[in-house]
Structure 1
């Protein structure tokens, strides 16, 4: 056979092999048998998932849009008020570096004794005209009326002595236990006791 004819046959065979390989690769891309994860290819990252409202590291906000006060931001103190019968003072100081608000829960939820008992109801007339905001290093106040009736010894017959009680800043929060200043326990009747709304000044608290 002439050399020219042999060269022509070889070129035709090579071209046929190239066409077959191209068709095989094209089919592989459509039937899932294409390049594997380990093959050299350009990777496309999935779209990032936006963070949820609870994953951004920010404290919860109140209805006014400001950060709500949380227990880890605050220092609580409580004790009997001098020269005021059946009165106990609760103070809360913001020792964090950011302001917070009590707009979501405008009065402290106080628990005496059994935590299954509902928190003390607030004194409605003590509600301030504006929500209390607490800048860093500032203090808010609440007055606790420990009993609304007196027994023979100056306390209600059902009153019991307490040296600490629970304070919660929201209905679902676990109460923070607050000990009383001083050594003497205080008589509290959880059936008749009441608490004021948070007040921004001590003078406002003394009205009750």
Structure 2
């Protein structure tokens, strides 16, 4: 005898299927925000502090103050009138923050041959404290271009030279004011420490 499915039975079966589908969809929505057990997770690396100032902070010297860098400064150089064997180097802080030469208290000068060591400093010219430059202030260094008793028999005339503020820095090329060449003997030339005023620089 054939089995007859009544309308009531069909409605009950349809309701059961609908309830099952709803349960499956609801479970899927709750689990979508959670990774499956044992799955890999992307983890952002923990930031580390860098000694190379990658965070944009300016470099600081041993005294904790901002170190003067070439980007903050303007250089000028030229022979000193009525002062034989003397040349004056000036540096002005045109930035909006003070800086200091505590990390390297005298300029490292090179004339021509980069393989030669920078000019030695006149140790007696060291000021009581490392020179600091406020914005728009100027510091000075006097260069003795040759020993007075040696005359102009050694060395050569130069119209520019390299100035570095630290031992590892690439020298900044500074041209002489007026481009008038100056005779320099790198064997006997010397440079003072940075001086806070023109008067103290002229003493040398």
Q: Distance in 2 between matches of 1:183 and 1:44?
A: 61
Asked whether the 8 Å contact 1:150–1:156 carries over to 2, the reply is no
2:184 to 182, 185, 188: 188
Give the aligned partner of residue 127 of structure 2: 128
Query: TM-score, length-normalised on structure 1?
Result: 0.76
**Aligned partners of 1:109 and 1:168 also within 8 Å:** yes
CA contact (8 A) 2:85 2:148 kept: no
Contact 1:142-1:197 within 8 A present in 2 as well: yes
Find the counterpart in structure 1 of residue 20 from structure 2. Answer: none
- 1:169 equivalent in structure 2: 165
Q: Distance in 2 between matches of 1:148 and 1:114?
A: 20
The aligned residue for residue 69 of structure 2 is: 70
- How far apart in 1 are the matches of 2:182 and 2:172? 18
For 2:17, the equivalent position in structure 1 comes to: none
SS class of match (1:182): helix
User: Distance between the aligned counterparts of 2:124 and 2:152, measured in 1?
Assistant: 23
Equivalent position to 1:34, from 37, 60, 65: 37
Partner of 1:109: 108
> Residues 115, 44 of structure 1: CA spacing in aligned structure 2 closer, same or farther, 3 A cutoff?
closer
Inter-partner Cα distance in structure 2 for 1:132 and 1:202:
13
Matches within 5 A, 1:11-160: 34=37, 46=44, 48-53=46-51, 54-151=53-150, 155-160=151-156
Distance 1:47 1:184, change over 3 A: closer
User: Pairwise CA RMSD of aligned residues?
Assistant: 3.7
